[in-house]
Structures are given as structure tokens and as C-alpha cells.
């Protein structure tokens, strides 16, 4: 996983590993996936993408 020191500044050093995200145009949300298994993990509540997670095409 990515590291976040120092805490509280809202920045991330490096990318989140073994994760990717894909945009779902039907519900206008971003969904996070595990790249090893291909299972969907999480979905954003708003329409902005996840921070520090690679985007699929």
C-alpha cells in the first residue's frame, strides 16, 4: 500500500499497488478493483476518481 507521512497533509507518496479503477457511465461513479483477482472492492459516493489509484481504459 502507499504511504502517507506526514499525517494530516492530504498527500500520498507513490501509487496504491494491486488496485485499479474503472469508470461506470451508467451510474456516473468510479469503482475500485483488485488487479490480482479482478473483483470489485469499493465504489465512490461522488463522481470524482479515487486518489492515487491507477485508471483502467
Q: For position 49, what pLDDT does the model report? A: 97
In this structure, are residues 21 and 42 in contact, taking their beta carbons and an 8 Å threshold? no
Domain residue limits, the chain:
20-55
Tens of pLDDT, residue by residue, the chain (57 residues): 666 677 778 777 788 899 999 999 999 999 999 999 999 999 999 999 998 999 998
Please state, as a whole number, how many other Cβ atoms lie within 10 Å of the Cβ of residue 46.
8
Q: Please report the pLDDT score of residue 1 as a whole number.
A: 62
Beta bridge partners of 26: none
Contacts of 55 (CB under 8 A, 6+ apart): 20, 21, 22, 23, 49
Amino acid at each position: 500500500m502507499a504511504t502517507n507521512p506526514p499525517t494530516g497533509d492530504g498527500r500520498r507518496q507513490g501509487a496504491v499497488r494491486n488496485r485499479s479503477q474503472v469508470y461506470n457511465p451508467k451510474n456516473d461513479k468510479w469503482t475500485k478493483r483488485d488487479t490480482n483477482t479482478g473483483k470489485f472492492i469499493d465504489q465512490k459516493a461522488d463522481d470524482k476518481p479515487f486518489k492515487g489509484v491507477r485508471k483502467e481504459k
